[in-house]
Amino acid sequence: MASIQPVVLFFVFGVLAGVIKSDLKIPEALYKSLSIFLLIAIGFKGGVSMAKYEIMEVLPVALSMVVLSALIPLTAYPILRYLGKFTQADAGAISAHYGSVSAVTFAVGVAFLAAKDEPSEGYMVLIMALMEIPALVTGTILARAGAGGEKTQWGKLMHEILTGTSLYLLVMGVIIGYYAGMVKLVSPLDKMFMDLFMGVLAFFLLEMGLLAAARLKVVAAKGVFIISFGVLFPMLMGAFGAYLGWIFGLSEGGTMLLAVLYASCSYIAAPAAMRLAVPDADPALSLGASLGVTFPFNIFIGVPIYWEMAHWFHSIAV
């Protein structure tokens, strides 16, 4: 009954390497290659299992959960702006990060379920891919509404959001996986995108550990509020996600994954979009909170808690 999976130990050793100043370095090209792999593989896996559903049956539910995720930045913003006393730009940018999702946290959640042999809905991946859109749009509006300065270039921003690498690769993976599932030609591709998934995730988490160690130092200097926010806000959103999942009748595994999506926050797509949309926000703040605090919290403590939440909701009624 091991609650810590071997794969997350790679993250621990990455952090440790940063802390003890080991000269361990992951080549930039490897980091980028692994992240391309993970996004495609996550999408592909989801797409293959979506091939088992009538797509039109699940779409309304999936889209509802995407639309409702706009509530995340709307909740985060007032907390950050009025309790945290952040500038409008920073509060909006951080909201966008927390409304968005972390594919790697999701992957750790999937691995957690796999170790427990718990099934989940394949279309959670599609929700993940699409959740970026309301989060980044809402966050930008919050950051810019009424503010002076240059006008937001919405065309450019929407292009960045809709064609951004992570959304593109996830959706591509879903479509190809779905097609492969339909025509029953998953087989030679699964050797790469499914069998190697966990091993690639291990490497990636090692690098994430190195990156998080560097970020944590920076965010610690930004004060205790942002750290508390990085721990408490995901718990709140995780509970909200679990509640929604239960309401919408997802399986226990799916409920937990929705909680993970709501609780996790972005450190790839959101920073790129916010750099463009809210250049006056401080990226060290949002990245520090999401990568330095919330990401480690989620993969170690959050994921098991969200599982308990899902379990609890499913135990109250049939």
Partner 1 sequence: MNNTIAMKRFEIVVGIEQLEKLTELLDRCSVRGYTVLKNAGGLGSLGIRDPGDVMMELENVMVVLACKEDQAQRVLDEIRPALKKLGGMCLISECQWVEGPAVSY
Residues of this chain that interact with partner 1 (CB under 8 A) are 28, 31-32, 211, 215, 267-268, 271-272, 283, 287, 291
Residue 104 or 219: the one with the smaller Cβ distance to a second copy is 104
**CB atoms closer than 10 angstroms to residue 32:** 11
Rounded (10°) angle between helices 224-247 and 71-78 = 150
Report the C-alpha gap between 75 and 80 in whole angstroms: 9
CA distances from 157 to 91, 135, 172, 196, 277 (A): 18, 13, 21, 34, 6
Of 279, 268, 293, 282, the residue nearest 132 (C-alpha): 268
Q: What is the DSSP string of 231-259?
A: HHHHHHHHHHHHHHHHHTT--HHHHHHHH
Asked if residue 300 binds a second copy (CB under 8 A), the reply is no
Asked if residue 2 binds a second copy (CB under 8 A), the reply is yes
CB of 251 to a second copy, least distance (A): 21
Of 6, 44, 19, 2, the residue nearest 205 (C-alpha): 6
Residue 164 or 304: the one with the smaller Cβ distance to partner 1 is 164
Residue 101 or 200: the one with the smaller Cβ distance to Na ion is 101
Binding segment (CB under 8 A) for a second copy, from list 65-73, 136-144, 189-197, 258-266 = 189-197
Residue 217 partner contact from partner 1, a second copy, Na ion, none using kind-dependent CB cut-offs of 5 to 8 Å: none
Residue 184 or 318: the one with the smaller Cβ distance to a second copy is 184
Residue 181 or 245: the one with the smaller Cβ distance to a second copy is 181
Residue 291 partner contact from Na ion, partner 1, a second copy, none using kind-dependent CB cut-offs of 5 to 8 Å: partner 1
Residue 317 partner contact from partner 1, Na ion, a second copy, none using kind-dependent CB cut-offs of 5 to 8 Å: none
Q: Write out the binding residues for a second copy, residues 140-169 only, by CB under 8 A.
A: 159-160, 163-165, 168-169
Q: Which residues contact 91 (CB under 8 A, 6 or more apart)?
A: 76, 77, 80, 81, 84, 142, 143
Task: Please count the CA atoms within 13 angstroms of the CA of 280 that sit on its side-chain side.
Answer: 15
Q: Are 287 and 272 in contact (CB under 8 A)?
A: no
Which own/partner pairs from 157-162 qualify as long-range (CB within 8 Å, at least 24 positions apart)? 157/273, 157/276, 157/277, 160/272, 160/273, 160/276, 160/277, 161/132, 161/133, 161/136, 161/137, 161/269, 161/273, 162/133
Report the C-alpha gap between 101 and 123 in whole angstroms: 15
Residue 192 or 236: the one with the smaller Cβ distance to a second copy is 192
CB of 113 to a second copy, least distance (A): 12
Residue 202 partner contact from partner 1, a second copy, Na ion, none using kind-dependent CB cut-offs of 5 to 8 Å: a second copy
Residue 26 or 107: the one with the smaller Cβ distance to Na ion is 107
Q: Which residues contact 86 (CB under 8 A, 6 or more apart)?
A: 80, 94, 285
CB of 91 to a second copy, least distance (A): 26
What is the x/- site pattern for Na ion, positions 88-117, by CB under 5 A?
Answer: -------------x----------------
The residues binding Na ion (CB under 5 A) are 101
Residues lying near a second copy in the complex (CB under 8 A) are found at 2, 5-7, 9-10, 13, 17, 20-30, 32-33, 36-37, 111, 114-115, 159-160, 163-165, 168-169, 172, 175-176, 179-180, 183, 185-186, 188-189, 191-193, 195-200, 202-203, 272
